């Protein structure tokens, strides 16, 4: 495969060049509409929500970030490896919530990346059904940007800047003319990671406002994740081995980079400095704790936030014996292979859809539309 070749093994993913608007106006194009996405497009009204309307999420509900951790200490790496013990007890909640601010800022930037990437797909996909799906995803990502912006603004004023390394990675995806890179990068890697991270935040957050925001966001993300699965089912089985290897390697590299940056002590150096800690010392503590956990075999693979993502790639055929040993450091790959398709995030999203249907006063109760189907 040449370096910059689009993979159009299914007509639903054919794309025009970004500067070829006339290609959208070719009369025959309108009639070539795939039905593959109709079900997820028509389900959108079932999980409508509006982050500006307090009947969905009330950002004015009080939560004192000076007195209570948004995420509990057991979920914050600096508390688990002894770093927080060097912070004065009276400052630890503030310290922990600044780390939570950094994490939530990363999520907000991820949502903006998803908005820009789905708008991009909408701009170039030729299939009217795929295009309608992408337009809808862009609309949903836009409300996630609004929701997380609101949450961050109400507690800290503004988000932290995006990590420069991640900025470079995501910018490459946004500017890439390759549909597969945008779909694998957005719908499989970013959406898969988001479902795992959001499930974790939803389960453990001590702030009911954040929990609600996450649950409603997940009702949308579960469908976005589904789009990636549909693409994979229609494309991966037809790929020549060289192309499959290339996508498999790229997905691993992107995932590895995202995971490394997610908890990067260097990124949090400004926070540490406020409490008299050197980021290099923190880095050593974190690495030493991870090494100890590895030696003890106590990395908890069954609750890893990476399970959703890794399972998605595994089921899609994007983890073969070439990369399975790398992922096996984080999860039990064989256990995942034997599991069904449902994930914990699907249950949270389904419960969120039922909640939204009650708010939206749909007649006839819960219409059984699940992103996991």
- Residue closer to Fe ion, measured from CB, 107 or 267: 107
For residues 302-341, which are near Fe ion according to CB under 5 A? none
For the stretch 55-59, contacts whose Cβ atoms lie closer than 8 Å and that sit 24 or more positions apart, written own/partner, are 55/359, 56/212, 56/216, 56/356, 56/359, 57/147, 57/150, 57/209, 57/212, 57/213, 57/216, 58/209, 59/150, 59/151, 59/154, 59/209
Q: Is 120 in the site for Fe ion (CB under 5 A)?
A: no
Write down the least CB distance from residue 141 to Fe ion, Å.
5
- Residue closer to Fe ion, measured from CB, 186 or 369: 186
Q: Is 114 in the site for Fe ion (CB under 5 A)?
A: yes
Write down the least CB distance from residue 217 to Fe ion, Å.
6
Q: Which stretch binds Fe ion (CB under 5 A): 18-26, 138-146, 171-179, 341-349?
A: 138-146
Longest dimension (CA), the chain: 69
- Residue closer to Fe ion, measured from CB, 84 or 195: 195
Q: Specify the DSSP class assigned to residue 300.
A: -
- Residue closer to Fe ion, measured from CB, 182 or 224: 224
C-beta of residue 191 within 8 angstroms of C-beta of residue 228? yes
Q: Specify the DSSP class assigned to residue 44.
A: G
Residue with tokens 């790929």: 239
DSSP per residue over 158-193, as a string? Answer: SPPPPPHHHHHHHHHHHH---HHHHIIIIIIIIHHH
Residues in the chain, total: 373
Q: Which stretch binds Fe ion (CB under 5 A): 111-119, 124-132, 321-329, 355-363?
A: 111-119
| Phi–psi pair at 51, nearest 5 degrees | -65, -10
What's the CA gap between 141 and 224, in Å, rounded?
Answer: 10
Q: Is 221 in the site for Fe ion (CB under 5 A)?
A: yes
Q: Which stretch binds Fe ion (CB under 5 A): 38-46, 147-155, 221-229, 323-331?
A: 221-229
Q: Which one among 92, 101, 155, 224 touches Fe ion, defined by CB under 5 A? A: 224
Write down the least CB distance from residue 137 to Fe ion, Å.
6
Beta-carbon-side half-sphere exposure of residue 128 (alpha carbons within 13 Å)? 10
- Residue closer to Fe ion, measured from CB, 117 or 251: 117
Write down the least CB distance from residue 254 to Fe ion, Å.
16
Q: Is 144 in the site for Fe ion (CB under 5 A)?
A: yes
Q: Which stretch binds Fe ion (CB under 5 A): 52-60, 144-152, 157-165, 334-342?
A: 144-152
Write down the least CB distance from residue 111 to Fe ion, Å.
5
The count of residues interacting with Fe ion (CB under 5 A) is 6
258 is written with which tokens?
Answer: 């995202």
C-beta of residue 254 within 8 angstroms of C-beta of residue 325? no
- Residue closer to Fe ion, measured from CB, 120 or 221: 221
Q: Is 141 in the site for Fe ion (CB under 5 A)?
A: yes
Write down the least CB distance from residue 162 to Fe ion, Å.
16
- Residue closer to Fe ion, measured from CB, 14 or 141: 141
Question: Which among 219, 251, 218, 217 has a CA at the least distance from the CA of 232?
Answer: 251
Write down the least CB distance from residue 301 to Fe ion, Å.
26
- Residue closer to Fe ion, measured from CB, 277 or 348: 348
- Percent helix, strand, coil in the chain, to 5, is 70, 0, 30
Which residues of the chain form contacts with Fe ion (CB under 5 A)? 111, 114, 141, 144, 221, 224
């Amino acid at each position: 495969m040449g370096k910059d070749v689009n993979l159009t093994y299914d007509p639903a993913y054919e794309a025009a060049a970004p500067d070829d608007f006339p290609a959208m106006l070719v009369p025959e194009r309108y009639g070539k509409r795939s039905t593959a996405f109709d079900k997820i497009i028509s389900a959108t009204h079932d999980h409508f929500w509006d982050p500006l309307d307090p009947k969905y999420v009330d950002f004015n509900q009080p939560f004192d970030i000076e007195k209570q951790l948004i995420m509990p200490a057991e979920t914050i790496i600096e508390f688990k490896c002894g770093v927080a013990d060097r912070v004065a007890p009276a400052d630890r909640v503030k310290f922990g919530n600044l780390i939570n601010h950094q994490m939530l800022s990363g999520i907000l930037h991820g949502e903006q990346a998803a908005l820009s990437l789905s708008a991009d797909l909408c701009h170039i996909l030729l299939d009217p059904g795929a295009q309608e799906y992408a337009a809808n995803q862009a609309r949903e990502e836009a409300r996630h940007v609004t929701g997380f912006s609101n949450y961050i603004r109400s507690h800290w004023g503004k988000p932290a800047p995006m990590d420069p390394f991640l900025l470079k990675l995501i910018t490459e995806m946004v500017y890439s003319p390759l549909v597969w890179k945008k779909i694998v990068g957005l719908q499989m890697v970013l959406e898969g990671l988001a479902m795992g991270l959001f499930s974790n935040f939803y389960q453990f957050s001590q702030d009911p406002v954040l929990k609600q925001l996450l649950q409603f966001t997940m009702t949308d993300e579960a469908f976005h994740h589904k789009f990636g699965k549909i693409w994979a089912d229609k494309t991966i089985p037809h790929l020549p081995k060289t192309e499959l290897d290339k996508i498999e390697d790229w997905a691993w590299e992107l995932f590895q980079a995202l995971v490394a940056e997610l908890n990067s002590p260097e990124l949090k150096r400004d926070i540490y400095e406020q409490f008299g800690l050197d980021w290099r010392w923190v880095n050593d503590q974190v690495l030493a704790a991870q090494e100890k956990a590895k030696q003890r075999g106590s990395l908890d693979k069954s609750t890893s936030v990476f399970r959703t993502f890794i399972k998605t790639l595994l089921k899609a055929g994007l983890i073969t014996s070439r990369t399975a040993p790398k992922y096996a450091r984080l999860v039990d790959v064989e256990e995942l292979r034997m599991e069904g398709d449902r994930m914990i995030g699907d249950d949270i999203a389904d419960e969120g859809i039922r909640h939204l249907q009650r708010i939206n006063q749909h007649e006839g109760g819960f219409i059984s539309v699940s992103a996991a189907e």
